[in-house]
Amino acid sequence: MSSKDQYKHEPSYEERRVTTGCCGCIWTPILTACGIFCCLIVIAIVILSVILGVNVNACGKLSQTVDINAVTPSVYTFDPNTFPNFNFISFNSILTKTGQIYVTQSNSTNDKNVTVSVRVAATKDETTSIKEENIDSTKKISLERADTFKGALAWIGYLSLPPRCILAKVEVVLPQTIPSVTTIDTDVNDIIFYANSVPYSSQINAKTVNGEIDVNNFAIGSLTLNTNNGGIKGSVSGIINELVATTDNGGIQLNVLVSSNATNPKIEITNSFSDIQLNFNSSFSGSYDVNTDFGNVNVVNPSSETINEDKKKSGKVGDKNGTLTVNTKNGNINITF
């Protein structure tokens, strides 16, 4: 036996009882404090939710109560060769009701510049201002409020009472000739493309964080559509090189016309959590590879199939070199060639 073992002291019943009892005296106030703390947190969450609800409701009503078309726009004009990137930011200005960016094409061959008209309506419009900045090749236009949190703390504005909402309507008129790559980038706004009478052969990249993207018969050589939170839908024509549509949260529904000039078109559609529907009206030619993790894949009119499973289909349509990849995690994919 070592000396350590010799002196090892087993606690008596009495000692154990006291220890447990003492644990009780320590734990009861801690649990009580925890309970009160939890209660306070729940109350705080309820209060914040009510405020948020009031705010979202007031901001949603803004588009019904204000005629934004009656607002005099602020107009900005710039050369797209100097500023191929257009950035419209409004989240910083607090509880911006998701506004819209409308993209159209000028009907005049004389127009060489981009024209951006910004209409803004707000619950307290005296504090709203529009800021224009040139950052390298980016024309940045931001909505600003004078007295609110900014940047990383902007979300606190969602909790302000009375509600502070801004509604934005932005019209972007593109000239008939644009740079080889043009970018339209925004944070909490929808982007809507209208039909252009002169098809573009260049590329447009459109990106929003929290908004939908609608494409109404827009004709463009390459198009990249990206939103984190919102659907993508409409008709795209004239695709020569590449069409990319990506969303994390929202359906994708597109009619796509690939240009007859396209030799090697690449089409990539990705959606994490919803359905994807693509119609090609016989215009796509090449191989396809379509996958979903949870859902069904349905491909109509392929020329040949190499894989034909519920969740994965691949094969060819026509005899050209195009590639089509379509992926979603949680939804059905329907494709008609």
Ligand X SMILES: *[C@@H]1O[C@H](CO)[C@@H](O)[C@H](O)[C@H]1NC(C)=O
78 binding ligand X? (CB under 6 A)? yes
- When asked if residue 96 is in the footprint of ligand X (CB under 6 A), the reply is no
Sign of CA dihedral 111, 71, 208, 82: positive
Strands (E), 52-150: 74-78, 85-89, 96-105, 114-122, 128-135, 138-145
Q: Closest approach of Cβ 112 to ligand X, in Å?
A: 4
Least spacing, CB of residue 280 vs ligand X, in Å: 8
Give φ, ψ of 33 to 5 degrees. Answer: -60, -45
Of the candidate spans 15-23, 90-98, 106-114, 136-144, the one that interacts with ligand X by CB under 6 A turns out to be 106-114
Coil, strand or helix at 29 = helix
Question: Does 77 sit near ligand X (CB under 6 A)?
Answer: yes
Least CB distance from residue 205 to ligand X, whole Å?
Answer: 20
**Among positions 3, 6, 72, 260, the unique one binding ligand X when judged by CB under 6 A:** 260
Span near ligand X by CB under 6 A; candidates 3-11, 55-63, 154-162, 259-267 = 259-267
| Among 87, 98, 235, 287, contact with ligand X (rule: CB under 6 A) | 235
Using alpha carbons, list the distances in angstroms from residue 101 to 212, 215, 234: 10, 12, 16
Q: In the chain, count of helices (H) and strands (E)?
A: 2, 23
d(CA 82, CA 205): 17
- What distance, in Å, lies between the first and last C-alpha atoms of the chain? 86
**Of the candidates 113, 138, 202, 272, which one interacts with ligand X according to CB under 6 A?**
113
- Site for ligand X (CB under 6 A): how many residues? 23
Q: Which of 61, 112, 140, 329 touches ligand X by CB under 6 A?
A: 112
The distance of closest approach from Cβ of residue 238 to ligand X in the complex, given in angstroms and rounded to an integer, is 6
Q: Does 69 bind ligand X (CB under 6 A)?
A: no
Contact 62, 123 (CB under 8 A): yes
Q: What share of the chain is helix, strand, coil (3-state, %, to 5)?
A: 25, 45, 30
Amino acid identity of residue 37, one-letter, is F
Nearest-10 Cα torsion for 101, 106, 107, 113: 170
In whole angstroms, how close is the CB of 228 to ligand X at the nearest point?
26
Instruction: For residue 320, state whether it binds ligand X (rule: CB under 6 A).
Output: yes
Going residue by residue from 268 to 287, which x/- string records binding to ligand X, judged by CB under 6 A?
Answer: -----------x-x------
Binding site for ligand X (CB under 6 A): 77-79, 104, 106-107, 112-113, 173, 235, 237-238, 255, 257, 259-261, 263-264, 279, 281, 320-321
